[in-house]
Amino acid sequence: MLFYLITILVVIVDQAAKWGVRSNMQLGETIQVWSGHLQFTYYENSGAAFSSFQGYGKYFAIIAVLFVAGIFYYRRKGELRGPILEAATGFLAGGAAGNAIDRVIYHQVTDFLVFGSRGGILNLADLAINAGGLLVVVHLLKEPLKRVMTKR
């Protein structure tokens, strides 16, 4: 249940935030939110992370659909169980789906979050993907850390 809740919540919040940016900002416009730490800058990315592969976004939509299908497949097989993996895969699926929706409808992804003066530009789906990846690492380290701690 946690997987579905997080997936749906990520997609809804991500799409709502992107809609808000597209509706209330001009392309290229910047709004300082927290001086030196966070700003909103409206950008449309037709490529992948770090603005690479510009113009090939439609292919990343296909990859996202296959990725989400893979998550559902392995969940159905019972291989992605436990609260950490439930949350991790929920964030990953929700983030991938949020960006795939943009790619299918708009042929590009709306980015708007800039952290710090040298930060790249991303969106809430990207943050969810990062959170999911971090939780996968936590899951992978959980057992080895337990073994190390029990040997002491």
Q: Pick the catalytic residue: 68, 85, 126, 135?
A: 126
- The distance of Cα 113 from the centroid of its chain, to the nearest Å, equals 12
Active site residue 14: no
Please give the DSSP secondary-structure letter assigned to residue 114.
E
Q: Which position among 45, 88, 111, 122 bears the catalytic label? A: 111
Quick one: which of 127, 96, 125 has its CA closest to 110? 125
Q: Kindly calculate the radius of gyration of the chain based on its CA atoms and give it in whole angstroms.
A: 17
Please confirm, yes or no, whether 111 is among the known catalytic residues.
Answer: yes
- Spacing of C-alpha 4 from chain mean position: 15
Buried b (16+ CB within 10 A) or exposed e, 127-138: bbbebbeebbee
Task: State in Å, rounded, how far the first CA of the chain is from the last one.
Answer: 36
Integer Cα distance of 127 and 69 in angstroms: 20
- Where in the sequence numbering do the catalytic residues fall? 111, 126
